[in-house]
Structure 1
């Protein structure tokens, strides 16, 4: 009974994470602002100006697709959670590792984009880089909102990863290390 509730919570969290990943990718990917600089030069700021933002769009898109596929898998390929088999064990290990990989890559990508974005906010006098966000305020605000959503999705993936760890390690005996429970 408890296992089915855990699966429902995991599915709800995966749907939530997929939605937030899509929101993040859309906020960052569709953000664009054009300004007339110095009265003659037209400059457009897009997510492609910073490689970390470009990577975040792709990372979050892949993470959203992964979570949608996991939700579909849980409904199309129901695995009997009451009697763990060797097939279920391999599925559980695969899902656990993939959840860990997605959680870490999403967090790392958002952190890299945040670091690059902070240079746009503060500038760097020693390199002669100006503060980009003084000129493109709406662009920077939307990128900040997108990265905030990315961190919410990364935290959700951390929770999902802990649920998949629970689903994996509950099939093993508590007395012996990595020995399956008797049926």
Structure 2
């Protein structure tokens, strides 16, 4: 009997280790995406007959660079946090859940604002006499588009991490218990 218990304990530990390894890798993957998007955006500048433009000249793209940098740093720290085996407590589960949510919304906002800026660069806005700029700065727009697409891939990773951390947190709580019996529900329905 002891051999069966210890064998199942070993299998459970192997399963926990493989889940921990998978989550650590899932936390490192958005770091690679964020650093890639950040580097592309930082190097994005172009000079043409109409002047010069740099990604750091535009507030939306500055925000994208900062958000990608912060998210890359968080991904690295959270990967170390999940890689080190330790007992899981409610406060740790809440901390990971909280930061996963914050970073997910931050990178989503950065990607969305940058996508809007790119839309205006490609299409312009005649109502406010803002002409499209990508005809004159096509190289700049291509690199910015690449950076925004990579950022949205990182958003998808962070959304997945948010689901994992929310499952880990909220699976610790018991489901709500109904205090009404079946007859109580029937009588409440028939009286109403």
TM-score (norm 1): 0.84
Q: Does 1:50 align with 2:50?
A: no
In 1, Cα distance between equivalents of 2:104 and 2:136? 34
Could you say what the CA RMSD is over the residues aligned between the two structures, in angstroms? 1.8
The 3-state SS of whatever aligns with 1:45 is: strand
| Residue equivalent to 2:91 | 90
Instruction: Give 5+ residue unaligned stretches, structure 2.
Output: 1-11, 178-192
In 2, Cα distance between equivalents of 1:123 and 1:138? 17
TM-score (norm 2): 0.80
In 1, Cα distance between equivalents of 2:114 and 2:164? 27
| Residue equivalent to 1:18 | 31
Structure whose alpha-carbon radius of gyration is higher: 2
Alpha-carbon shift at residue 131 of structure 1 (Å): 1.1
- Structure with bigger helix share is 2
| Residue equivalent to 1:109 | 110
| Residue equivalent to 2:158 | 157
| Residue equivalent to 2:5 | none
| Residue equivalent to 2:182 | none
Runs ≥4 in structure 1, deviation > 4 angstroms?
A: none
Alpha-carbon shift at residue 138 of structure 1 (Å): 0.9
| Residue equivalent to 1:99 | 100
Say how many residue pairs are matched: 165
Question: Contact between 2:41 and 2:147, CA under 8 Å: does it hold in 1?
Answer: yes
The 3-state SS of whatever aligns with 2:126 is: coil
In 2, Cα distance between equivalents of 1:144 and 1:7? 34
Question: Contact between 2:124 and 2:132, CA under 8 Å: does it hold in 1?
Answer: yes
In 1, Cα distance between equivalents of 2:123 and 2:79? 41
